[in-house]
Structure formats: C-alpha cells, structure tokens
Structure 1
Amino acid sequence: MKDNRVSLNGVKVYPFTSFDQLLTHVEREKGILVAINAEKILHATDQTRAIINRNIGYCDGSGAVLAMKKRGHGEVVKIAGCELWLKLVAALSPQKRSFYLVGSKQTVIEATVAKLRKEFPGIHIVNYRNGYIQSEEERQALLDDIATKKPDVVFVAMGSPKQELLMEEMAERHPAIYQGLGGSFDVYTGHVKRAPQWWVDHNLEFAYRLIKQPSRIKRQIHLLRFLWLVEMGRI
C-alpha cells in the first residue's frame, strides 16, 4: 500500500479496510503497529505524533473510524489491538513464523505463553519476558536477544509511549512485525475483564468501562469535544 495515510490532528493513520489488508501491508514492509483512538488523536503531542508517524497507525477505536469516514474513507474498519495480535498469531503461526513476547507481570506473561501454546499448538515462541526492565543492562540484554533470535513477530505490552520507544530500538537491531499491546496480556489471561461482546459489537466499550469505573468520566468528557471537532471538520 502506498502512503495514503490520513492526517487527523497531525496524526497519520492508515485507512485499512480489513485485517487482511493490514496483514499484507505489515508483512511486506515490516514495522511497528500503533493503535490509534480518539484520545491519541485529540491529545497528540509533538512526541506522540512523531512516534506514530514514523510507524504504522491503525484505527483501534470507533472515534478514529468516525473521523476517517468523515474524511471520505467510508470502508475503514475498527481493528481492536487486543484482537489484532491474536489474529496475527492465528494467521502466521501455521506458517511457522516465530514470536517474541515482552510485557506485564511475570505471572501474567507466563500465563499468556501457556494459554497461547494451548490454543495454538505448535506455536514457535522463541522467548518471552516480563515488562519490568530494571536496568540498562537488562535493556541491552533484551535488544541483543531480539537481534540474536530474530523473531518474525514481537509483541510488547508496556503502555504508550514506552512500548513504542522500546520497539523502535528493537526494530533498529532487527526488522520484524512489531505491535504494542498495552494491557492485552492481562485481558487475554482474564486478569482484566473486557466489555461483553454486545457492547463491543455496538461500539459501546467506552460506556461499559464508564459504568464499571465512573471515575473515567473526566476522560470521557473529552470524547464529546473530539466528536464536536470531527463534526466541525477540525480533526
């Protein structure tokens, strides 16, 4: 795919119309997949814009999809990051591609690997470690291990922008498919509950989270401002 990204408040996002299109793109060009939602667009800083624009931003939220459709990209779809990484595993594991996982607590990463091996028999996980890198020596050891083991796909679950900055260092040592996952390992292993499927299917995950955690209201108010800016053509 040529660089036909759409700029939303200076954040450049690819108008992917399906998971298959995204997969074809990242397999051909390698790179770091960065989830884009309304908050990342609305609260973009010079640093976060630069990180996203160096990499592969995709619509992870309904707000981002709405903004893209407002720009004339009516076929753009939401690709939830917490689902995307498992789709990558399902698509690439049968091809004997190799995986490397970084992030979360030790108990969670171990549970993640165990569940992946159960759900995807034969999956080739070359290594994994928790997301608590305590020293520069540990950081360099991780980068060296990535360069040595040369995984085809690397998942890093540490939160933004920390995970993207680390993946950029990894990518300099070894080109691969990279994806930042935030808290997806916790969701996958049941340590954090995602919204029920009905809420997901109707693009109401934000409402479900608000009901479960009313303190999020301050963040959700910003979504109203985002929607207004989209409607006014200012995003």
Structure 2
Amino acid sequence: MKPIKVGNVNVFPFRDMQELMDYTADDKKLLLSLNAEIIMKAEGEVADIINSNIGYADGYGAIKAMCRKGGKELKRIPGCELWLELINRYHSSKTFYLIGSTEDTICATVKKLKEQYPDIQIVGYRNGFIRQASEKNALLDDIRSKKPDFVFVAMGFPVQELLMDELYKVHVATYLNLGGSFDVFTGKVSRAPKWIQNIGMEWFYRFITHPSRYKRQVVYLQFLWAYYRNRL
C-alpha cells in the first residue's frame, strides 16, 4: 500500500479499521494517529518518525486532503477506538504495556481492562509523568525486560511519539500514540455525540466544552486555510 503525502507526513489510505489491523498484523511498527493538528505541527524529527512508520487518518481533515490527492473510499480511524479493537482481537494471545495519563487514570484503565478481559496479559504500566532521566531509564529497562507485544502511549503530541521511537529502539513491538484515550476510556472525558463525530466536528465540540483549549484549536483553522489554498 502506498501512502499519500499530506503536509510533511505520509498517511496510509486505509478504508477502515479492519484493513489497518490486517495490514499491520505482522509488521511491528509505530501506528500513528494523524489529525489536522499533528499534520500541521509535524516537522523535523517527529515527521521523520511518522514517515518511517504507519500513519493513519484519525481526523476528517486528513481524509479530505487524501481524497483530493486520489484516495478513495477512505474512513476515519479513531485512535481511541483502535487500541480497544486490538485488545479485543489479541487479549488472550498477546501481551500489553500501558503508559500515560495520571496515576489514578492509568490504574483505573488497567482495572477496567482486567474486568472486561479477565485473561488479558498486562505486563506493565505507569503514568505519563516522566520527569527524571532515571524514570525514563527504568521504563526503557522494563520494556526491554518484559518484551510486550503492544505498547500504548497516551501522553500527547509530540512527547508520546518521541518516547515511542526511543522505546522501539530497545524493544521492537507495535506502539500506538493515544493522546487522551485513557481519559475517554475511564469516563473522565466524554467524546462528542455520534452525530457530531459523523460530520467531522469533534474538534469543535472539544473547543466549546473545553474553551481553555482554544490555543490548540487555532491549528484547525490553519489547516483549513492550507487545505483550501492547496498547500497540503
């Protein structure tokens, strides 16, 4: 499958989540969700990380830009759903490691997963606040020692992508960048209603429900400007 260039990054034109999971089943790489914000901000080392792995469209802006460049029958693949589908598929046969969010949230995430999948093998987890070099080194050692099949990292862009690349160098596995997915999974944060998701306005819902995020939402307007001026 040939990726489509959008801005500085390559986005693979998956038609749905099933196709993505089948395509990457035997290929241990970073699976990177891409939306308008990430596409607009990705440059330098982070863009190189994305382009060396598997970027997929987790945003309608990315889908629109890809369709303009020849993509057909493409669907948005929400990262906050993909990791759960992977767990549903592999919970009894693969091992998992979770990194991200607060201590309370990561513990609640692990507890809920074990309730839903009693046979799940979570070999390790920790919160996303890695402040000291010693903490990162301990994490690298733990990943190297426990050798999980899947590593889910929910720390926000671009911190999570840089950490995933670093972890991948000590242990080859399938890594996913998940942003605030653990908060959604545990009910700490609510997603937009389905009809808002379906019209591609989930970013606007986040803006009106969390107005303090307004600085982050400006990038979506920049994306629209670039899209309509054929600069993506």
TM-score using structure 1 length: 0.91
- How far, CA to CA, are the matches of 1:167 and 1:222 in structure 2? 24
Match of 1:17 among 5, 15, 18: 15
State the SS of the aligned residue for 1:163: helix
Partner of 1:114: 111
Distance (Å, rounded) in 2 between the aligned partners of 1:210 and 1:140: 36
Closer, same or farther in 2 for the Cα pair 1:18/1:148, shift >3 Å? same
> CA shift at 1:152, angstroms?
0.7
Amino acid in structure 1 at the alignment position of 2:21: L
In structure 2, distance between residues paired with 1:21 and 1:210:
31
* Cα gap change, 1:39 to 1:134, in 2 (>3 Å): closer
CA contact (8 A) 2:97 2:123 kept: yes
Q: Any idea what the Cα deviations from partners look like across 1:143-178, whole Å, max 9, x if unmatched?
A: 111111111100011111111111112111111110
Letter in 2 for 1:192: V
Match of 1:155 in 2: 152
Contact 2:46 2:161 in 1 (8 A): no
- Runs of 4 or more consecutive aligned structure 1 residues displaced over 6 Å after TM superposition: none
Residue 51 of structure 1 corresponds to 49
Alpha-carbon deviation of 1:47?
Answer: 3.2
Query: Is the CA contact 1:70–1:230 (under 8 Å) kept in the aligned structure 2?
Result: no
In the alignment, structure 1 residue 99 sits paired with structure 2 residue 96 = yes
SS where residue 100 of structure 1 aligns? strand
Instruction: Name structure 2 gaps, 5 residues minimum.
Output: none
Residues of 2 paired with 1:76 and 1:49: CA distance? 22
- Kindly state the Cα deviation for residue 99 of structure 1 after the two structures are TM-superposed: 0.5
Q: 1:127: how far off?
A: 1.1
Confirm whether residue 229 of structure 1 aligns to residue 200 of structure 2. no
In 2, distance between residues paired with 1:135 and 1:220?
Answer: 30
How well do the aligned residues superpose, as a CA RMSD in angstroms?
1.8
What residue identity is the alignment partner of 1:135?
Q
Amino acid at match of 2:192: A
Question: Between the two proteins, what is the percent identity of the paired residues?
Answer: 48
Q: Report the count of equivalent residues.
A: 232
Q: Mean Cα displacement is larger for which, 199-208 or 181-190?
A: 199-208
* Matched AA of 1:11: V
- Give the TM-score, by structure 2 length: 0.92
Alpha-carbon distance in 2 for matches of 1:45, 1:150: 30
Q: What is the aligned partner in structure 2 of residue 30 from structure 1?
A: 28
1:225–1:159 distance in 2 versus 1, CA, 3 Å? closer
CA–CA distance in structure 1, aligned partners of residues 132 and 215 of structure 2:
35
Shift of 1:20: 1.8
Correspondence for 2:125: 128
Q: Which residue of the other structure, out of 80, 83, 87, is the alignment partner of 2:81?
A: 83
